[in-house]
Structure 1
């Protein structure tokens, strides 16, 4: 089922305007949210990230786009998909409405939302092999736009194809300054001794929801020091652990990068605390 501006219809009946600016110019944003038994995990963070991103892209935010209204729309979408008592992956895409070329004819917005079943109500630690490599065919710009979840993700699309063609589970993206920005499907964290490091937003990484949650968790732990600093590709093979974070998986440990094998002890400890926050939040 598809929710288009509050009207829910079957996928076969949904229609995309050929002049939709999200389709023509990537003039849109999206949020992917994990829902468990109708509860949207970390909804407040998702909502405020979406609103901040709309302001950055100079979209007019409708008066009805309150947290309560959009939460109700997403829950209606989940219910229409028959997943209200299940675990679901929910996506809402906001696009700038109207026509125009690069210059929009108007600044208002519309939205599409849909929900799909997901098998894991809690974040689980995966112990299967998970190998990554650098993707250097294209680079992430170290700027504000790169931190947003826009509908222009062509670097991530081509990188995902590269990973599949070469037998990797994921790839790490390099920015225009030749530092690691993020992974294809999430933010990167590096553990060396008692220091946990993650790239700063200034390096072009996504303003991730789980990134934010984990940084808050780590800052309260006496046994670790958090560093928000650039990560050079040369640091990867010196690390004790590498892991990727995103809203759906939570924490994904990396087991291998080139000849280096990694443990996942810190990732396991953090995952327990993340699950507590997800249940209580």
Structure 2
């Protein structure tokens, strides 16, 4: 009879993040010795790292740090929400974030190639975690912003999961609180660009074509088409351009107007949502 209890299974799962069946097999092989079972899971996990490379990572978290006019935002992904909310995965993501801040990484590849203080690369660190936890784990995206003021905001979409949406905002002038309010707005309304100048001409032209074709299909008068098309293209800008979006706390004002009244200027932003 196996020399372990349900509590041992639970403890080993929480420690390693490995699946139920893998934990039970390891404990069977180790005759209930949790330390030996942990080693077995690690060895078997390392053998499976390559096999897991093609798996889909649609869960995970975003984490961020902003101080001294510099902000870093990192998205770390895994396969299941069980792992995403585990202490081991959350601690790993925090270690990855701290490394990104320490080396000033500006993209995921640079971060993965960077060496931790013990000489191990972040890529090697993730491979080890991949092996122990038994899931594919990856740093998907990284953003870094600099400015006179940079704030971060993390939002939980579910109370039992870590943050799924993360935002950085860089501003110049005004109180820090207005930057924080804008960060919360970005989390909720997901703008894609700061100003309409950042929308490429081909996208704008396509919106015009669609707006005109739709208006004609609706039977609108030919003479009214230019005004209708312009109105719908402006509607597209209001939906996607941060400074033109109606502000979350006061829809009668645009985000740009709120910043202007606060004596602030938005210099840039980044927004990540897990898996999107």
The TM-score normalised by the length of structure 1 is: 0.27
Per residue, is there more strand in 1 or in 2? Answer: 1
